[in-house]
Amino acid sequence: MNGAVARSPRGKLGRAFALALVCAGLTLSGCQKTYYTVLEQVGVEKRELLARRVTKAKESQQEAQEEFRDALEQFQAVTGHRGGELEERYEDLRDSYERSAEQARDVRERIDAVESVADALLDEWRDELERYEDASLRHRSSERLRSTAREVQRLLCAMHRAERSLDPVLRKLQDRVL
């Protein structure tokens, strides 16, 4: 049974997670290549990691959007209401702002994670191009690399554009909370 668990996707991810924790210090110290190498040794490929990180970044952006919408509704409730509950509504607004700020930080971190694994994947691909002996295969792989790099750049530009749109809203909301 242990063999079955170790070969299952969940077992693979569990081992990868444990090794990732061990390698966290390596990642923080700038040893990205070692971190990705260790993950690959337990069966987690960079492309899988990239796909997961892109999905998490998208989810994080959607959560941030919902949090901002909730914070705006709170703000509208505060500014539209005059009465004894004003302080309570202020606290709700401040809490909404803090949650929105946290969501914005989460979005930034997830975009950075996507960018990191994408860079590592593309760097590895570039290194592999030099090992081809067949010129036509090298050329085809090089063309696919360029196409993939353009798509990654397009994706990252869209993510950064969404990220930049968070700051003006946060600043306005913070002004109102202050």
Structure-block tokens of residue 103: 């969501």
Amino acid identity at 168? P
Structure-block tokens of residue 38: 């260790």
Of the candidates 67, 61, 63, which has an alpha carbon nearest to the alpha carbon of residue 156? 61
- Taking the C-alpha atoms of residue 100 and residue 63, their distance in angstroms, rounded to an integer, is 9
Average pLDDT over residues 152-165: 90
Rg (alpha carbons) of the chain, rounded to whole number: 22
Do residues 54 and 114 touch, judged by C-beta distance below 8 A?
Answer: yes
- Taking the C-alpha atoms of residue 176 and residue 178, their distance in angstroms, rounded to an integer, is 5
How many percent of the chain have pLDDT more than 90? 24
DSSP class of residue 83?
A: S
- Taking the C-alpha atoms of residue 172 and residue 16, their distance in angstroms, rounded to an integer, is 42
DSSP class of residue 114?
A: H
Query: If pLDDT is split at 50, 70 and 90, which confidence band does 55 have?
Result: confident
Between 53-57, 65-69, 154-158, the lowest mean confidence (pLDDT) is in 65-69
Phi and psi dihedrals of 85, rounded to 5?
Answer: -90, 10
Query: If pLDDT is split at 50, 70 and 90, which confidence band does 86 have?
Result: low
- Taking the C-alpha atoms of residue 170 and residue 99, their distance in angstroms, rounded to an integer, is 11
Of the candidates 86, 83, 67, which has an alpha carbon nearest to the alpha carbon of residue 166? 67
